[in-house]
């Protein structure tokens, strides 16, 4: 059964037929891909200046043998530069009730760790209190990808901390 929605055309879901060769506008790109649900992580590290972290939705398992994960930081991220210098990171998988924590770490403001409980993973990066799980990894390779980079990490440790639903955006 086909349902017609006012304002749409047969050639496109939203009434805009795709045009070959033209990239989508950034707002349109975000709006369309916003229909895809992803888990939310906070990627952390620690260096001589203390702990650092940022909210990241682009985190995934890559390989079981060897165990590899990836995340995609913005090329302009100051936190990514700190992670790159240390060579290791922790991906904290956020729980459904940690939306405010995700918002705090999505900011570029200083003091993200103020009032946030954490403990060091065996490799050193912060494991945030209340996270469902964590994965530590050593930076293995970095690939350029437009305005972001694709960081592949070799897993050095992991743990499931508690049961519950993940935070999804």
DSSP string, 59-109: EEEEEETTEEEEE--BTT-HHHHHHHHHTEEEEEE-BTT-HHHHHHHHS--
What is the spatial distance between Cα 158 and Cα 64, in angstroms, rounded to a whole number?
Answer: 13
Range of the domain at 104: 39-160
- Confidence check: pLDDT of 8 > 60: no
Tell me, yes or no, whether 26 lies in a domain.
Answer: no
Tell me, yes or no, whether 137 lies in a domain.
Answer: yes
What is the spatial distance between Cα 47 and Cα 125, in angstroms, rounded to a whole number?
Answer: 9
- pLDDT-derived band at 3, boundaries 50, 70, 90: very low
Domain count, the chain: 1
Q: Considering the entire predicted model, what is its pTM?
A: 0.81
Tell me, yes or no, whether 75 lies in a domain.
Answer: yes
Q: What's the CATH number where 49 sits?
A: 2.30.110.10
What is the per-residue pLDDT across 17-62, written as a single tens digit (0 to 9) for each? 555 667 878 788 777 766 666 789 999 999 999 999 999 999 999 9
- Confidence check: pLDDT of 9 > 50: no
Tell me, yes or no, whether 93 lies in a domain.
Answer: yes
Tell me, yes or no, whether 83 lies in a domain.
Answer: yes
Q: Which of 98-107, 113-122, 136-145, 159-168 is predicted with the least confidence, judged by mean pLDDT?
A: 159-168
Q: Which residue has the tokens 């952390």?
A: 44
Whether 46 contacts 126, CB under 8 Å: yes
Mean pLDDT along residues 126-130: 97
Tell me, yes or no, whether 76 lies in a domain.
Answer: yes
Tell me, yes or no, whether 68 lies in a domain.
Answer: yes
Mean pLDDT along residues 161-169: 85
Whether 139 contacts 85, CB under 8 Å: no
Tell me, yes or no, whether 117 lies in a domain.
Answer: yes
- Burial pattern 99-120, b for ≥16 Cβ within 10 A else e, equals eebbebbeeeeeebbeebebee
Distances (CA, A) of 42 to 21, 93, 112, 149: 35, 7, 11, 16
């Amino acid at each position: 059964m086909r349902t017609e929605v006012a304002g749409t055309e047969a050639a496109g879901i939203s009434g805009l037929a795709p045009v070959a060769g033209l990239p989508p506008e950034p707002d349109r790109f975000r709006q369309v891909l916003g229909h895809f649900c992803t888990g939310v992580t906070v990627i952390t590290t620690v260096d001589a200046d203390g702990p650092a972290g940022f909210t990241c939705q682009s985190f995934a398992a890559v390989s079981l043998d060897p165990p590899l994960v990836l995340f995609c930081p913005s090329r302009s991220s100051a936190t990514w530069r700190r992670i790159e210098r240390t060579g290791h990171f922790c991906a904290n998988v956020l729980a459904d009730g940690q939306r405010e924590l995700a918002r705090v770490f999505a900011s570029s403001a200083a003091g993200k760790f103020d009032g946030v409980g954490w403990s060091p993973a065996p490799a050193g990066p912060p494991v945030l209190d209340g996270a469902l799980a964590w994965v530590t990894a050593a930076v293995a390779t970095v690939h350029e990808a437009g305005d972001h980079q694709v960081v592949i990490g070799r897993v050095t440790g992991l743990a499931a901390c508690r049961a519950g639903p993940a935070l999804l955006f």
